[in-house]
Structure 1
Amino acid sequence: MLAIIIPFYKLAYFEETIQSLANQSDQRFKVYIGDDASPECPKKIIEKYQDKFDVNYYRFNENLGSKSLTKQWQRCIDLSKSEKWIMILGDDDVLGSNVVAEFYKTIPIIDKEEIKVVRYSSQLINDKNENISTAYTHPRIEKSTTFLIKKVRSQTRSSLSEYIFNKEKVLQVGFKDYPLGWHSDDMAVLEFSDFSTIYTINEAAVFVRFSLLSISGDLTVSREKNKAKFLFYYSLLSGKFFSKDQVQILFPKLFQAYLSDKKQVMYFLRITGLCIKSGEILGYIGFLKSILHTFSKRTKESFNVK
């Protein structure tokens, strides 16, 4: 059975999310809504649709998402029961009407291949439900490390809502608690798949909302996002999950995290240690040159040197 878990906080597009569940051609799922002590009450909307599908609503007394988004995800997962599979659906994202039906069609393959992570095609929408991207599709079978490199190179995209995870694996591994949950979904895809295989369902789509109300569209939290970026790439490069060529693509992302916030001296020290340990000497020299270039430029500007 499939559990669709909605960590709730924003009411703005919530009914459209709920309506997309009512529209599912296959109703073999249960919905668990975890209200993160929101100032906006979703009860009227939930009551409106409670006869359409099996829904369980719980309001938490403490707002946890503002402190740790991943811990809010986890306590919402804990609301679920014996379901084998879970989808964590954003409270503003929308499912295509055949998402559940296509999942059940693939169960025999998923079980045979021992797949732990299932992915859908996706498309970005705005606050007016207009498509603002082309449809993103993926290889039917793809290594999660290959996917990550493609995402780093802006050749694809993903977000938490378009995945279904094996619940046992989620509970075993857990989500990495990065600031704002930024990159926590990327790491989840890698770890929940054991850095191995993702199975894609391209015949159904998840429509992901991009607006100023979403973290993706919020430009005021850049420092927190940058911290998450550093922690994510540092963790990846500290392991041995990627080929030498892939590592060459990942290291610049780690360097950028420091260059975007040079007050973080610890970033510099950890990068230095990692480069020495991994033998990334040429990349490290280029990194030092970037620091010196930036310092020289700022010094000239401060003295108004042309």
Structure 2
Amino acid sequence: MNEKKLVSGLVSIAIPAYKKKWLKEAIVSALSQDYPNIEVIIVDDHSPQNLREVVVPFLIDKRVSYYYNEINLGGKSVTNNWNKCLEYVNGEFFVLLCDDDVLMPNFVSELLKLAHKYPKCNIFHGERVLYHENTYSFESMESWPEYESFVDFQKEKKKVKRKHTITEFLYRSRCIKEKKYIVFPVGYFSDDASILEIVATGGIASSQTPLVKIRISDDQISSEEKYPIEKTKAAIMYNEWYMNNPMLEVSQQEIKNSVDWWAYGFFQSANIINKILILYLVPKFVWPLKQKIILFIKVCISN
């Protein structure tokens, strides 16, 4: 692999950019870190929204670089552009900042303290605050332990106590560049699988103070009514990945329950055509033919 030499102490903050609305705020938060040795990498994923207009004023700062994808990489999965960002990384440490999120000024400095304290860890987590765009309210999330082994982290995740977004982490660059982000349709579940793989290399260390503001809005992929077919495919692929991964302890019944729960949620929010397609997609060991017929009848009656 033609690996560039990473600069010791440098932190690379990459922004996989597509939406213009909050991009300036994200860039400002990256440049406002109280840790000075950073670079900010903006990768425009062939956006139709003229992101260059937002980015150009920041290019006078030598810490900022801007790249434009000649084709849209994130259309099938946003994860493709996350991995493109990794190609431009020069720093010893790496942060992936979504274009609608905000890093608090001490995000990098606080997580670097953990990096020095836990040299065997390759991933470090900052507590998040959810910012609900429509209601303008903030919601602080529960803190994670300062250190967790992979086994403990996986146990908590299986209890659905380890929800996260991709912006909340700082990585040792060599590890994430080697592993890369795992690609699922529209990027759904990609963060979960990718984080699990990195945690498996040495555990995870977490800050007990809020370090990142995560925006919740209708423009996001996670919006309930968006991409039900792709999300169903992603749920099935993620659980297949989980079941076939020797690092992870999981039973077929747990996989069945997980796919059932996610697919039914996507099924409920889908239109009639997509409901039928979801019925077709879900494996028979999760929804047997009888159950699919019952769901189909319920759909026909309700419509």
Q: TM-score, normalised by structure 1?
A: 0.80
Residue 45 of structure 2 aligns with an amino acid whose one-letter code is D
Deviations 1:150-171 (A, max 9, x none): 4454434201111112222222
1:110 counterpart residue number: 118
User: 1:137 offset after TM fit, Å?
Assistant: 1.5
Larger radius of gyration between Structure 1 and Structure 2:
1
1:101 counterpart residue number: 109
User: 1:38 offset after TM fit, Å?
Assistant: 1.1
Per the alignment, do residues 142 and 131 of structure 1 end up closer, same or farther by CA in structure 2, a change over 3 Å counting? farther
Residue 99 of structure 2 aligns with an amino acid whose one-letter code is D
Q: Equivalent of 1:87, from 84, 95, 114?
A: 95
Q: Does 1:31 align with 2:31?
A: no
Deviations 1:119-160 (A, max 9, x none): 110121133693442333111112345445544544342011
1:22 counterpart residue number: 31
1:169 counterpart residue number: 175
Q: Unaligned stretches of 5+ in structure 2?
A: 1-9, 268-277
User: 1:201 offset after TM fit, Å?
Assistant: 1.7
Q: Equivalent of 2:257, from 246, 252, 258?
A: 252
Partners of 2:181 and 2:21 in 1: CA distance: 27
Deviations 1:208-238 (A, max 9, x none): 1111111112512111111101111111112
Q: Equivalent of 1:227, from 228, 233, 240?
A: 233
User: 1:257 offset after TM fit, Å?
Assistant: 5.5
CA contact (8 A) 1:16 1:94 kept: yes
Residue 180 of structure 1 aligns with an amino acid whose one-letter code is V
Q: Unaligned stretches of 5+ in structure 1?
A: 272-283
User: 1:107 offset after TM fit, Å?
Assistant: 3.0
Partners of 1:258 and 1:26 in 2: CA distance: 43
1:182 counterpart residue number: 188
2:142 counterpart residue number: 136
Partners of 1:116 and 1:255 in 2: CA distance: 33
Residue 253 of structure 1 aligns with an amino acid whose one-letter code is S
Q: Equivalent of 1:192, from 180, 198, 210?
A: 198
User: Between Structure 1 and Structure 2, how many residues are aligned?
Assistant: 281
2:140 counterpart SS class: coil
Partners of 1:188 and 1:302 in 2: CA distance: 39
Identity of aligned residues (%): 22
Per the alignment, do residues 91 and 299 of structure 1 end up closer, same or farther by CA in structure 2, a change over 3 Å counting? closer
CA contact (8 A) 1:102 1:203 kept: no
User: 1:90 offset after TM fit, Å?
Assistant: 0.1
Q: TM-score, normalised by structure 2?
A: 0.81
Q: Does 1:10 align with 2:8?
A: no
List, as ranges, runs of 4+ consecutive aligned residues in structure 1 with deviation greater than 6 Å: 300-304
User: 1:20 offset after TM fit, Å?
Assistant: 1.3
1:263 counterpart residue number: 280
